[in-house]
C-alpha cells in the first residue's frame, strides 16, 4: 500500500513538473496569436488642447506557454499615449505575458488646436511583435476645435454662431442690458458645474433643421456594464438661471439636457413675460427640470422629460402650456426620481420663516402628463388658485380627478410611448412619440391649433387626419 502511495505521489510531482515546465517555456508556434478585447479603440469627440478620458485594452495569452512580445509600441505616438500594466511608455521591448494570463493597457489621447472648424479624425496603432509576426490594434479619435470661455461676461449684445462649439469652463454671465443670441446650430458644452446665468436676455433661436444644444462636455462612457455614455447621464453641468429682472427670453428648437437642473427662474413679476419656450426639449437632469417663482411663462410644442426632481415646479405666477409632453421615467442604478411630474404652489417660504401667498394661474391644453408614479400632479395652495387642464392625458388618482379643474381629459390610460417597446434592450434611451393605440391620439381640441402649433415637434401637420393628438408629437403611420 505504501509503495502505491509513493508511486502516485511521484507521478503527480512529475506531472506538475511537466506542466510547470510547459508554462515556463516560450510559445514559438508560428500560428500563435494574442487575443484582444477590441480590435479598434475609438474615442468620441475630444476637444482640442484637452486630455481625454482613459480607455482600456485587454490583451490575452490563451495558450499554455509564455508569450514573448519582442516589441510593444505606438506606431506614431503623436496624439495617443499608452500605459502598459502601470508603466508609462509608448515603446517597450521584451514584454512577457504568462500562460493563460492577460495584461491591461490604458490609452489616452490629446489633440492640439488646428484651424479646422469641422471635426477631424486622428488615428494610430499599437503594434505587438512576436514570433516574427505583427498584430495591430487600431486607435481612432475625433477632434473638435472650440471657443473656450472662462469666467466670461456678456456685457453687450452678442451672437454665438454654429461655426465652432463653445466650451464653457465655469459660469457664462449675460449682464443686465445685454442680449445673448444663440443662432441656429449653436452648440454650448459646459464643464462640470458650469452655469449659464442670465441677468439680461437670452434668445436661443434654433430651427427644425439645426437645433441649438446646451449640454455637458463629456462624450465618453462610464465604466458600467454595458457602458453608459455620459451624454445620457444627468448632473454633467449646472443649468440655466434666469435671474430676477430678466424678461422676454426665448427658447426655440433648443435641446437642454443632462445638467444638475434645467431652467431656474428666480422670483420676478407676472406683469411681463419672462420666458417663452417653443419647439424645445428639456430633459434628463438631476433636480427640477423647470422651476419658477412668481413668473409669467409660456411653453408650447415641447418635450419636458426625465428628471430626479419635479419636471415642473412652479410657485405663484401665470403659466400656459400647449401641446406639451411631460413624462418622467428617470432611473439610474445609483438613484431614481423622487417627485411627481408637476407641483403647483402659491406658498412661498421666506428665509425668515414667514410665508407669502402668491397669485397663481395656469392652463394646460392638449398635453400629456404621464410617468411611472400613481399621481403625477400635486398642488399646494393656501387659498383659491386658478388652474385648468383641458383635453389632456393625465396620470392621476381617481379621487383626485373627481374634483375639477379638468375638462375633456383622459386619466390613467396608456400613452404607449415608442421607447416602451425597447426599454430592456436600450436603457436610458427614450422616444416619446406615440404608438398605434395610444390614448393620446385624437383627444386634442382642434381649436387650440393656431398657425404656430400646426406642425408638431417633428414638423408633422397636426390636422392632416382631421383631429389632433395630445402632446408634442402627432401620431403618424
Q: How many CB atoms lie within 10 A of CB 374?
A: 11
Quote the CA–CA distance of 414 and 410 in Å, as a whole number: 10
Closest CA to 411 of 376, 458, 382, 442: 376
CA distance 233 to 218: 10
Cβ-based neighbour number of residue 444 at 10 Å: 28
Q: Is the pTM of this model over 0.75?
A: yes
Answer yes or no: is pLDDT of 17 > 60: no
Separation of alpha carbons 23 and 432, rounded Å: 57
- Across residues 325-332, what is the average pLDDT? 95
- 43 or 113: whose pLDDT is higher? 43
Q: Compute the distance between CA of residue 423 and CA of residue 133 in angstroms, rounded to an integer.
A: 45
Per-residue pLDDT of 159-183, as tens digits, reads 999 999 999 999 999 999 999 999 9
Q: What digits encode the pLDDT tens for the residues 244-255?
A: 999 999 999 999
pLDDT of residue 3: 57
Dist. CA 281–CA 337, nearest whole Å: 19
Handedness of CA 455, 458, 459, 465 (dihedral sign): negative
Per-residue CA distances from 97 to 159, 319, 421 (Å): 57, 67, 46
pLDDT digits (tens, 9 = 90+) for 83-111: 998 899 999 999 999 999 999 999 999 98
Q: Flag whether pLDDT at 426 surpasses 90.
A: no
| CA dihedral sign of residues 338, 340, 342, 344 | negative
pLDDT score for 408 = 95
Sign, Cα dihedral of 42, 44, 50, 55: negative
Mean predicted confidence (pLDDT) in 286-301: 97
154 beta partners:
174
DSSP conformational letter for 122? E
Count of Cβ atoms closer than 10 Å to residue 12 Cβ: 10
- The mean pLDDT of the chain is 92
Please count the other Cβ atoms lying within 10 Å of the Cβ belonging to residue 39.
Answer: 10
pLDDT of residue 15: 43
The band of 440, judged by pLDDT with boundaries at 50, 70 and 90, is very high
CA dist., res. 99 & res. 108, Å (int): 28
Higher pLDDT, 173 or 269: 173
Would you state the pLDDT for residue 402?
Answer: 65
122-152 pLDDT tens trace? 999 999 999 989 999 999 998 889 999 999 9
Split at pLDDT 50, 70, 90, the class of 445 is very high
Instruction: Indicate the pLDDT class of residue 45, thresholds 50, 70 and 90.
Output: confident
Grid coordinates of 2: 505504501
Q: What is the pLDDT of residue 401?
A: 67
Closest-CA residue to 302 (of 292, 314, 289, 313): 289
* pLDDT score of 54: 86
Bridge partner residues of 388 (DSSP): 363
- The beta strands (E) that lie in 235-288 are given as 240-242, 249-252, 254-257, 263-265, 275-278, 281-285
Distance, CA of 432 to CA of 428 (rounded, Å): 12
Q: Which of 20-34, 263-277, 415-429 has the lowest mean pLDDT?
A: 20-34
- List pLDDT tens digits, range 183-238: 999 999 999 999 999 999 999 999 999 999 999 999 888 877 778 889 999 999 99
Strand, helix or coil for residue 398 = helix
Question: What's the rounded mean pLDDT across residues 299-309?
Answer: 98
Of all residues in the chain, what percent carry a pLDDT higher than 90? 77
Structure confidence at residue 363 as a pLDDT band (50, 70, 90):
very high
- Residue 350 banded pLDDT, cuts 50, 70, 90: confident
DSSP letters, 406-431, are: EES-EES----BGGGGTTTTSTT---
Of 366, 376, 399, which is closest to residue 474 (Cα–Cα)?
366
What is residue 22's predicted lDDT score, i.e. its pLDDT? 65
State the DSSP string of 47-114. Answer: ETTSBPPPEEEEEEE-SSSBEEEEEEEESS-SSEEEEETTEE-SEEEEEEE-TTEEEEEEEEEB----
CB of 120 closer than 8 Å to CB of 25:
no
Amino acid at each position: 500500500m505504501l509503495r502505491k502511495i509513493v508511486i502516485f505521489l511521484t507521478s503527480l510531482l512529475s506531472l506538475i513538473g511537466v506542466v510547470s515546465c510547459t508554462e515556463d517555456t516560450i510559445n514559438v508556434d508560428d500560428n500563435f496569436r494574442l487575443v484582444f478585447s477590441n480590435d479598434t479603440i475609438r474615442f468620441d469627440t475630444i476637444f482640442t488642447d484637452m486630455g481625454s478620458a482613459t480607455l482600456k485594452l485587454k490583451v490575452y495569452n490563451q495558450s499554455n506557454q509564455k508569450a514573448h512580445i519582442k516589441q510593444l509600441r505606438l506606431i506614431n505616438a503623436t496624439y495617443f499615449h499608452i500605459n502598459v500594466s502601470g508603466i508609462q511608455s509608448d515603446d517597450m521591448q521584451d514584454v512577457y505575458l504568462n500562460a493563460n494570463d492577460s495584461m491591461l493597457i490604458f490609452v489616452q489621447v490629446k489633440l492640439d488646436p488646428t484651424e479646422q472648424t469641422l471635426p477631424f479624425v486622428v488615428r494610430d496603432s499599437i503594434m505587438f511583435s512576436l514570433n516574427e509576426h505583427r498584430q495591430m490594434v487600431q486607435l481612432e479619435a475625433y477632434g473638435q476645435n472650440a471657443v473656450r470661455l472662462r469666467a466670461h461676461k456678456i456685457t453687450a449684445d452678442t451672437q454665438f454662431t454654429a461655426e465652432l462649439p463653445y466650451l464653457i469652463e465655469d459660469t457664462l454671465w449675460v449682464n443686465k442690458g445685454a442680449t445673448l443670441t444663440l443662432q441656429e446650430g449653436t452648440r454650448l458644452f459646459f464643464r462640470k458645474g458650469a452655469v449659464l446665468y442670465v441677468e439680461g436676455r437670452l434668445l436661443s433661436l434654433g430651427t427644425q433643421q439645426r437645433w441649438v444644444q446646451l449640454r455637458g462636455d463629456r462624450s465618453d462612457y462610464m465604466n458600467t456594464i454595458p457602458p453608459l455614455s455620459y451624454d445620457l447621464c444627468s448632473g454633467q453641468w449646472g443649468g440655466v438661471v434666469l435671474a430676477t429682472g430678466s424678461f422676454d427670453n426665448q427658447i426655440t428648437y433648443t435641446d437642454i439636457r443632462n445638467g444638475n437642473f434645467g431652467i431656474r427662474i428666480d422670483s420676478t413679476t407676472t406683469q411681463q413675460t419672462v420666458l417663452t419656450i417653443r419647439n424645445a426639449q428639456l430633459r434628463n437632469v438631476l433636480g427640477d427640470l423647470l422651476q419658477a417663482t412668481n413668473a409669467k411663462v409660456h411653453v408650447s410644442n415641447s418635450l419636458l422629460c426625465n428628471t430626479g426632481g419635479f419636471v415642473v415646479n412652479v410657485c405663484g405666477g401665470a403659466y400656459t402650456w400647449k401641446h406639451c409632453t411631460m413624462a418622467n421615467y428617470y432611473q439610474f442604478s445609483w438613484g431614481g426620481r423622487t417627485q411627481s411630474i408637476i407641483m403647483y404652489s402659491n406658498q412661498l417660504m421666506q428665509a425668515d420663516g414667514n410665508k407669502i401667498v402668491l397669485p397663481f394661474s395656469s392652463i394646460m391644453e392638449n398635453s400629456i402628463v404621464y410617468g411611472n408614479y400613481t399621481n403625477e400632479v400635486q398642488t399646494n395652495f393656501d387659498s383659491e388658485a386658478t388652474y385648468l387642464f383641458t383635453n389632456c392625458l393625465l396620470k392621476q388618482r381617481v379621487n383626485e380627478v373627481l374634483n375639477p379643474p379638468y375638462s375633456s381629459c383622459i386619466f390613467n390610460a396608456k400613452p404607449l410611448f415608442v421607447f416602451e417597446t425597447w426599454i430592456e434592450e436600450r436603457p436610458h434611451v427614450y422616444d416619446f412619440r406615440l404608438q398605434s393605440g395610444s390614448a393620446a391620439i385624437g383627444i386634442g381640441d382642434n381649436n387650440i391649433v393656431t398657425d404656430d402649433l400646426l406642425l408638431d415637434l417633428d414638423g408633422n401637420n397636426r390636422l392632416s387626419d382631421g383631429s389632433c393628438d395630445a402632446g408634442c408629437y402627432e401620431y403618424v403611420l
